[in-house]
Amino acid sequence: TTVAFYLLNAMVRYLPPEYYEQYYPSCLNAILEKLDHLKRPAAVESSEFEKEVAVHLSLFVYMQPHPQVLPTVLNAVRPGSFSTILERTMVGSGSKVLLLQRRKVCLVGVARLMTCQEVCNSPEALRLCADFVGSMLTWRNAGLPSWL
């Protein structure tokens, strides 16, 4: 699955949205289906997949001209799924990403999502995102034990 996310991330990074926007909802639907089939708490496979999803969705938010695109696409694929994905995957699994470059992608993606209408209108979601951003910013100062 890591190779599939490398390809999906490259598509989002290097292609204009017009090239993939008609296919992207199908990709998200497949990702959401797999997330549904992975049980929590689960094996390492589940955790690794969720981290890949967190990095990908954060990269997607970063590369879009407006971060509102992600909630719109997620809610079009599966109505009401944005808040679950935000809480469970982007914030929940994003905090478990270890590579510094990938952590930065998660940090910026969630920070950009804080400007979305869905997050701004929900005090719980805004607090969740703010706590995540704060913990990601202080993590760098934690030193070597944070890598273990």
C-alpha to C-alpha distance for 127 and 125, rounded to whole angstroms:
5
Tens digit of each residue's pLDDT (9 = 90 or more) over 53-79 = 999 999 999 999 999 999 999 999 999
Q: What is the pTM of this model?
A: 0.88
Q: What is the pLDDT of residue 95?
A: 87
For residue 27, the tally of other CB atoms under 10 A from its CB is 17
Tens digit of each residue's pLDDT (9 = 90 or more) over 15-55 = 999 999 999 999 999 999 998 887 655 555 678 899 999 99
Question: pLDDT higher for 83 or 140?
Answer: 83
For residue 10, pLDDT beyond 90:
yes
C-alpha to C-alpha distance for 80 and 103, rounded to whole angstroms:
26
pLDDT class of 13 with cuts at 50, 70, 90: very high
For residue 1, pLDDT beyond 90:
no
